[in-house]
């Protein structure tokens, strides 16, 4: 069975600070996908990134960066120089690769509040 | 790219009344479709998913049902709503691709309040 743990329920930081959201996963699959989603106050979930398990290169997109470490089963998300618009609930998720194993397993989310 | 439409966006229903939430997808074909529910301040609970017309898998036993009458239409229903059915319902679309895409794309959500 797959499991995603986001231990941080809520985080508050002052604007311009860096913040890291933790994600730890469990799976018996040797290959899998990891995802991050953002849910702003409007409610719609916005896809941020997909990472394949065989690619452990860290990724950077503007102020966002993702640190995938297979050895510790973690896929952490860092926002650099946070802004008020980053305030949202962030979900980490995991899915299998094989046919019939496409469902995403989501963590419980981390509510991030950026204080102006 | 695909677009997911959900309606109604908001509804308030009395206990015992029926429910119908609709989700339609544009810009893709043969997608996997999902219904999630999010209770206030909580995570996402997968309710149903469908890999094709008429094919529905239920994740949890409950007061709700789903149907997929057309390739890009997914409907969530209930004959008699319970207070516990209140929540934010999200429809999602998944297009499996050769590049290994698995990500879900979500609609705007439907917020249901049962009184």
Whole-number average pLDDT of chain A = 93
pLDDT for res B41: 74
pLDDT for res B60: 81
Residues of chain B with Cβ-Cβ distance to A107 below 8 Å are 43
Per-residue pLDDT averaged across A85-106, rounded? Answer: 90
Q: Is B105 on the interface with A (CB under 8 A)?
A: yes
Residues of chain A with Cβ-Cβ distance to B102 below 8 Å are 33, 35, 50, 95, 97, 102, 104
Please name the residue of chain B whose CA is at the shortest distance from the CA of residue A93.
Answer: B103
pLDDT for res B99: 65
Using CB atoms, pick whichever of A35, A43, A50 lies closest to residue B108.
A43
A103, B105: Cβ pair inside 8 Å? no
Q: Is B7 on the interface with A (CB under 8 A)?
A: no
> Using CA of residue A50, residue A90, residue A75, residue B58, what is the dihedral sign?
negative
Using CB atoms, pick whichever of A46, A50, A108 lies closest to residue B102.
A50
Per-residue pLDDT averaged across A82-92, rounded? Answer: 97
DSSP secondary-structure letter at B41? T
Q: Which of B66, B39, B38 is nearest to B50 (CA)?
A: B66
Per-residue pLDDT averaged across A98-111, rounded? Answer: 88
pLDDT for res B32: 93
**Contact, A53 vs A35, CB < 8 A?**
no
Q: In angstroms, what separates the C-alpha of B96 from chain A's closest C-alpha?
A: 8
Q: Which of A47, A48, A45, A40 is nearest to A78 (CA)?
A: A48
A44, B107: Cβ pair inside 8 Å? yes
Q: What is the pLDDT of residues A9-58, one digit of tens each?
A: 999 999 999 999 999 999 999 899 999 999 999 899 999 999 999 888 88
As averages over each run of 10 residues, the pLDDT of chain B (115 residues) reads: 92 97 94 92 89 92 91 97 95 80 90 96
CA dihedral A37, A38, A39, A45 (to 10 degrees): -40
* Burial (CB count <10 Å: 0-12, 13-18, 19+), residue B104: buried
Please name the residue of chain B whose CA is at the shortest distance from the CA of residue A42.
Answer: B108
């Amino acid at each position: 069975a797959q499991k995603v743990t986001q231990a941080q329920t809520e985080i508050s930081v002052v604007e311009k600070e860096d913040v890291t959201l933790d994600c730890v996963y469990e799976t018996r699959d040797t290959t899998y996908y990891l995802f991050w989603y953002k849910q702003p106050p409007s409610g719609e979930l916005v896809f941020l990134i997909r990472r394949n398990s065989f690619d452990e290169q860290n990724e950077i997109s503007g102020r966002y960066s993702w640190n995938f470490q297979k050895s510790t089963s973690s896929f952490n998300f860092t926002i650099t120089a946070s802004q008020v618009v980053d305030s949202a609930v962030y979900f980490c998720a995991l899915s299998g690769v094989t046919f019939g194993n496409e469902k995403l397993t989501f963590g419980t989310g981390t509510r991030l509040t950026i204080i102006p | 790219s695909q677009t997911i439409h959900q309606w109604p966006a908001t509804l308030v229903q009395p206990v015992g009344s029926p429910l119908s939430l609709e989700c339609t997808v544009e810009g893709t074909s043969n997608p996997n479709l999902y219904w999630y529910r999010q209770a206030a301040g909580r995570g996402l609970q997968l309710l149903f998913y469908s890999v094709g017309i008429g094919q529905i898998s239920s994740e949890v036993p409950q007061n709700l049902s789903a149907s997929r009458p057309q390739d890009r239409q997914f409907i969530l229903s209930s004959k008699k709503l319970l207070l516990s059915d209140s929540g934010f319902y999200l429809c999602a679309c998944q297009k499996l691709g050769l590049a290994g895409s698995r990500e879900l794309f979500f609609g705007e959500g439907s917020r249901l309040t049962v009184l």
